[in-house]
């Protein structure tokens, strides 16, 4: 078992620094990458923490071998990065609220179910 999980954040907004500081200090976390829909925001935030910036969630998870992704986007935008991170093989932590609609919640939960049903 790994002693440190490779962690990343999706979304560069008001709360991202709080999550980044926590992930940087946790002994079990190797804070590795950040993803934003805007390249300049991803790179600026990444520079503050000396990590890599991305604009594509799946590419970030695969390129950096990310174990855990923290979703810090505004809640109407939780579904797409959560599903993309799960599909790419990462565990996902979503800030509250889970999503802004029942349909988005269902889609995220369905993706989790699909992964559980997948043969190992």
- pLDDT value at residue 119: 59
Return the CATH superfamily for domain 5-117. NAD(P)-binding Rossmann-like Domain (3.40.50.720)
* CA dihedral angle for residue 29, residue 31, residue 35, residue 36, rounded to 10 degrees: 110
Q: Which sequence spans correspond to the domains of the chain?
A: 5-117
Q: State how far the Cα of 103 lies from the Cα of 58, in Å rounded to an integer.
A: 22
Q: List per-residue pLDDT tens for the chain, 120 residues long.
A: 568 999 999 999 888 999 999 999 999 999 999 999 999 999 999 999 999 999 999 999 999 999 999 999 988 889 899 999 999 999 999 877 777 788 888 888 888 787 766 654
């Amino acid at each position: 078992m790994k002693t440190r999980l490779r962690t990343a954040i999706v979304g560069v907004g008001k709360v991202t620094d709080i999550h980044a500081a926590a992930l940087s200090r946790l002994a079990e976390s190797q804070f590795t990458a950040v993803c934003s829909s805007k390249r300049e925001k991803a790179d600026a935030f990444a520079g503050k923490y000396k990590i890599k910036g991305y604009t594509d969630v799946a590419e970030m998870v695969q390129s950096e071998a990310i174990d855990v992704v923290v979703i810090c986007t505004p809640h109407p935008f939780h579904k797409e990065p959560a599903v993309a991170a799960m599909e790419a093989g990462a565990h996902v932590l979503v800030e509250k609220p889970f999503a802004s609609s029942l349909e988005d919640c269902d889609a995220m939960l369905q993706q989790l179910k699909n992964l559980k049903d997948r043969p190992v």
